[in-house]
Amino acid sequence: MADGAATFVLIHGGGSTSWDWHLVEPVLRELGHEVIAVDLPIEDAANGVSEYADAVVAACEGRPNLAVVAHSWGGLVAPIVCSRVESELLVLVTAMVPAPGEPPNDWWAATGFSDLQFPEVEDAFYNGVPAALAEECTARGREQTGERDGEPSPLKAWPEVPTRFLLCRDDLFFPPLFMRGVVRDRLGFAPDEIDGGHMIALARPRELAERLHRYWAELPR
């Protein structure tokens, strides 16, 4: 591992897999970083966000210079990870932003998402993603039981880790206007923005990887 490089820890969204990041991973490695993409144990009804976070912590045990990156539902897991393992950076990519102690099921109503009116579109997730990739991602999807999503999150406070939020301007699932408000209210700053839809890691993997690399390079040393 080169001096000054990160270990990027990539957390997928709800009902999905680490495959979501398979186009981002080689670009990050090309840029000199190590990469760990974790499959959350979402199919076991005995697990909740705390156990999901434990799985991520176990996967990156002993690795240096951790940069934790989460997409979509994975945003509920990432800050718990950063509260349990020493991390240098936390990046939320069009992700849910939890409040301390908030049950995952409560997020939708608490943020106002449940009140949104959506235009009729064929697929709010995959706009901008090549059809073959969208089909494979859907085929690889896993059942996320959500049995324990009504329980309070173990997150006690936002971790003291430099945090960035990357909003996707073409996102039809988490619309930009809505997410700008969530980030302002819950994190206290304005998000960064990038072109692309909700599944940015499949639609624009190089642009995403280069943005993650830039966030790491901009950290004070």
Over residues 107-127, the pLDDT tens digits come to: 999 999 998 877 666 688 899
Which residues 6+ apart lie within 8 Å of 194 measured at CB? 166, 167, 168, 169, 200, 204, 207, 208, 211
Which residues 6+ apart lie within 8 Å of 91 measured at CB? 67, 68, 69, 70, 163, 164, 165, 166, 212, 215
Which residues 6+ apart lie within 8 Å of 148 measured at CB? 45, 46, 47, 48, 49
Percent of residues, the chain, with pLDDT higher than 70: 97
- Whether 129 has a pLDDT exceeding 80, the answer reads yes
Nearest to 59 by CA among 2, 18, 4: 18
Distance (Å, whole) CA 185 – CA 183: 6
Instruction: Retrieve residue 179's tokens.
Output: 């997410």
**Any alpha helices (H) in the chain, and if so which ranges?**
25-30, 49-59, 78-84, 107-110, 131-140, 176-187, 200-203, 205-218
- In this prediction, residue 120 carries a pLDDT of 65
- Whether 2 has a pLDDT exceeding 70, the answer reads no
CATH number 3.40.50.720 given to 7-218: no
Mean pLDDT of the chain: 95
Over residues 51-78, the pLDDT tens digits come to: 999 999 999 999 999 999 999 999 999 9
Nearest to 182 by CA among 113, 85, 114: 113
pLDDT band at 148 (very low <50, low <70, confident <90, very high): very high
pTM (predicted TM-score): 0.96
Over residues 154-213, the pLDDT tens digits come to: 999 999 999 999 999 999 999 999 999 999 999 999 999 999 999 999 999 999 999 999
Residue with structure tokens 């988490």?
174
pLDDT band at 1 (very low <50, low <70, confident <90, very high): low
Distance (Å, whole) CA 96 – CA 153: 13
